Amino acid sequence: MTVPALTGYRRPGGGWGVRNHVLVLPSRSAANAAAESIAEGLGGAVAVTHEWVGHPDDPDTELVTRTLVGFASNPNVAAVLLVAVTGEDRALAERIAAAGGMPVRVVTMADHGGTPGTVEAGRPVAAGLVADASGLEREPMPWSGLAVGLECGGSDALSGITANPALGLASDWLVAQGATTMLSEVPELVGAEEILAARAIDAQVARRMVQVVHDFERSVEALGVDIRGAQPTPGNIEGGLTTIEEKSLGAAKKAGNAPLTGVIGFAEAPGDPGLYVMDTPGHDIEQMVGLVAGGCNVIAFTTGRGTPTGSPIAPCLKISTNTAIFERMAGDIDLDAGRILDGTHTLASMGEQIRDAIVATANGALTASERRGNHEFAIRRTHYPERLVT
Amino acid sequence: MSALTGLVRHDGRAGIRNHVLVLPSVVCSTHAASEIASAAGAVAITHQHGCLHVGDDLRHTEQAFLGTATNPNVGAVVVVSLGCETLNGKLLADRIAQTGQTIELIGVQHSGGTARAIQDGLAACARLSAALDALTPEPIDPSAVTVGIDDASDALAGPLREALEARGLRVALADDVTGPEAHVELACQGSQLIVSLPGEFEGPTGFPVCPVVAVGRDVDLHRALADDFDVHEEAASHGELAQRVADRVLTAAAGEPTASERRGARDFVLRRLAVTM
């Protein structure tokens, strides 16, 4: 076949965006209302809100800061308006600008008497950033500019048979062109770690692959809890999955058969193009934020139970594992891999359809969640003071 | 001073606000919930929780949703579930219903996607709002109002408690948390109004179903954020400041919007007990 061409927005920091958003980012929760009001009704601008209070002695400060910096400097973001509470919060803007190279402006609530003045001052700044961004044009983008996160959410017994292996074929093809793909959700790789490790490009990556899964298992043991009910979820079980290992073996199929280039931490950026595993939780939104913060500019998301999820800044292409949910949730899901079951498609032809849809999405075609305006966001924390009693 | 009025609920408690709360049981249904609330003039909570919790963390999160949904300021609830979440939306709705609260359950998967869930949610809100609008505020005793103070360790907390109690109001103090995380716990315990005493380096936040009266102290940041505070210290003694805060609490209880309500701040910051799986 002829390899299709990609287009995107070349960013000053060297990355390539497939979208051109102005992100209005509150530095902490006290700026949420101001950020939302600034972006309200302003096409081209998107605000996120979050539960980060920003206590300076919070042990998760570095993780959350890395997440916010990575997310805001994703190349799908043309420019950032940081809504800071205090002058100290401006340090976040400097880190974002250093990471992404894009324009970062700051409106500081303490300079404007609080929320009303901040909204008044911030709206023209955001409008100016949108005007500047709208002057940017797509240009031919190299395959190395594309990074696709591979997610599944609301898995069922068909996930490992239809949508996930079809996405795996698309992933293999993307990696062969020189793009990056990222598998994640370590809790849903329990039992599949040796299979992935066997494909590692070297012994160090193989060890790291096994290590992240074992570290997760040990952390669960330390909590002293039974994770059944959380993994697999009630919806997974209703969908026919029995154990986390069964779910994992299906989940890992999203990564196809490409060599495993690296294993990276939550919200960390990968190196050279290739297939990576990012250490994220299974939670759809914490995971998606981590992938986007690590530089993914497209998300491919398989679902059996059906979910409307989308990211504020990265197009999220959703693929159903079965036709019933695709038809039932019309308008929320982009592709139906259930057609493999009725013989309309083979795994190979569905893989090609997903591949083509990823390319079209990267080139600007809107996904269902973008049309709906889904923009879920979450802060990942790892420090908890109390031991669980169950 | 105007006499207080409130909406007397099925259990005898009184609301000083009359919200229809659109409560997503999981982050995945927050967008549908927000769309429903904004079109219906209801209040939605935006949060990042509801899936892949374990142990006490799951029960604690469910309790936080249940407690917020049964706060006296909430006249009726629409739970918006996705359908496959760990924190089962149907069970949450059942538990809320068991308290006697008026509730309807919408499921994004059950309705057949976001668009239909929004339609179903709007229809539910219309039914519930009609019933709430028919309620007539009744005179209530100040003792029917519990004021939560979000930082028990603040030197102002003691004088403030006295000033509030002197006006006949009840007072609740947050246990072992402060700030936005304390707001959730105070609302769950039934406080209809929250007095927030942000720290020197913190800005004030709001809460979805309770007015927050924010007290600005004589520190640079609070002076710089004056518009987001309701009462300013201005060199007052703790005793004097407590009196002014208590007076402002009464006007807020009588219906005058607080700074948090005016700016639409509806932060829901949940204290979590364990890492997300």
Handedness of CA A255, A258, A264, A267 (dihedral sign): negative
CB B89 within 8 A of CB B79: yes
Chain B residues in contact with A58 (beta carbon < 8 A): none
Average pLDDT over residues B96-104: 98
Alpha-carbon distance values, A74 to A99, A269, A289, B167 (Å): 9, 10, 11, 53
Average pLDDT over residues B108-123: 98
Out of B203, B268, B270, whose CB is closest to A85?
B203
> Among candidates A62, A68, A129, A69, which has minimal Cα distance to A96?
A69
Per-residue pLDDT at A386 = 55
Whether residue B275 is predicted with pLDDT greater than 80 in this model: the reply is yes
Query: Exposure pattern of A292-318 as b/e (b: 16+ CB <10 Å)?
Result: bbbbbbbbbbbbbbbbbbbbbbbbbbb
Whether residue A387 is predicted with pLDDT greater than 80 in this model: the reply is no
Per-residue pLDDT at A390 = 45
Q: Per-residue confidence at A288, pLDDT binned at 50, 70, 90?
A: very high
Minimum CA–CA partner of A235 in chain B: B84
CB B20 within 8 A of CB B128: yes
Minimum CA–CA partner of B82 in chain A: A307
pTM of the model: 0.97
Out of B29, B267, B277, whose CB is closest to A187?
B277
Per-residue pLDDT at A29 = 97
Q: Per-residue confidence at B55, pLDDT binned at 50, 70, 90?
A: confident
Average pLDDT, chain B: 97
Q: What is the pLDDT of residues A107-140, one digit of tens each?
A: 999 999 999 999 999 999 999 999 999 999 999 9
Per-residue pLDDT at B226 = 98
Q: What is the pLDDT of residues A178-222, one digit of tens each?
A: 999 999 999 999 999 999 999 999 999 999 999 999 999 998 888
Average pLDDT over residues A234-248: 91
Whether residue B69 is predicted with pLDDT greater than 50 in this model: the reply is yes
Q: How far apart are CA A21 and CA A324, in angstroms?
A: 34
Chain A residues in contact with B110 (beta carbon < 8 A): none
Average pLDDT over residues A368-379: 97
Q: Per-residue confidence at A229, pLDDT binned at 50, 70, 90?
A: low
Per-residue pLDDT at B3 = 83
Selected residues 41-70 of chain A with any CB under 8 Å from a CB in chain B:
49-51, 53-54, 56
**Residue A109 near chain B (CB below 8 Å):** yes
- Burial environment of residue A3 by CB neighbours within 10 A (0 to 12, 13 to 18, 19 or more): exposed
Whether residue A228 is predicted with pLDDT greater than 90 in this model: the reply is no
Do the Cβ atoms of B56 and A154 come within 8 Å? no
Per-residue pLDDT at A385 = 65
- Point out which residues pair with B77 in neighbouring strands: B21, B103
Q: Could you tell me where the DSSP H helices lie in A318-363?
A: 323-328, 347-362
A:B CB pairs within 8 Å:
217
Out of A53, A187, A284, whose CB is closest to B269?
A53
Minimum CA–CA partner of A229 in chain B: B86
Per-residue pLDDT at A389 = 46
Selected residues 271-310 of chain A with any CB under 8 Å from a CB in chain B:
281-286, 305-310
HSE-CB of B235 using CA atoms within 13 angstroms: 0
Q: How far apart are CA A362 and CA A359, in angstroms?
A: 5
Q: How far apart are CA B131 and CA B109, in angstroms?
A: 27
Average pLDDT over residues A242-262: 95
Q: What share of chain B is helix, strand, coil (3-state, %, to 5)?
A: 40, 20, 40
Q: Per-residue confidence at A9, pLDDT binned at 50, 70, 90?
A: very high
In chain A, where do the E strands start and end?
Answer: 6-10, 16-17, 21-26, 45-47, 77-84, 104-108, 139-141, 147-152, 180-183, 260-264, 275-278, 298-303, 316-320, 335-336
Q: What is the ipTM of this complex?
A: 0.96
The number of residues making up chain A comes to 390
Do the Cβ atoms of A110 and B225 come within 8 Å? yes
Per-residue pLDDT at B97 = 98
Number of neighbouring beta carbons within 10 Å of residue B68: 26
Chain B residues in contact with A332 (beta carbon < 8 A): 113-114
Q: How far apart are CA A272 and CA A275, in angstroms?
A: 9
Number of neighbouring beta carbons within 10 Å of residue B239: 12
Alpha-carbon distance values, B147 to A221, B223, B247, B249, B263 (Å): 41, 24, 12, 8, 21
Q: What share of chain A is helix, strand, coil (3-state, %, to 5)?
A: 45, 15, 40
CB A43 within 8 A of CB A372: no
The amino acid occupying position A206 is A
Chain A residues in contact with B212 (beta carbon < 8 A): none
What are the DSSP calls for B30-41, one per residue?
Answer: HHHHHHHHHHHT
Q: Is there a cis peptide before residue A140, judged by omega within 30 degrees of 0?
A: no
Q: Rg of chain B over CA atoms, in angstroms?
A: 19
Out of B28, B88, B226, whose CB is closest to A376?
B28
Average pLDDT, chain A: 95
Strand pairing class (A139-141; A6-10): antiparallel
Per-residue pLDDT at A141 = 98
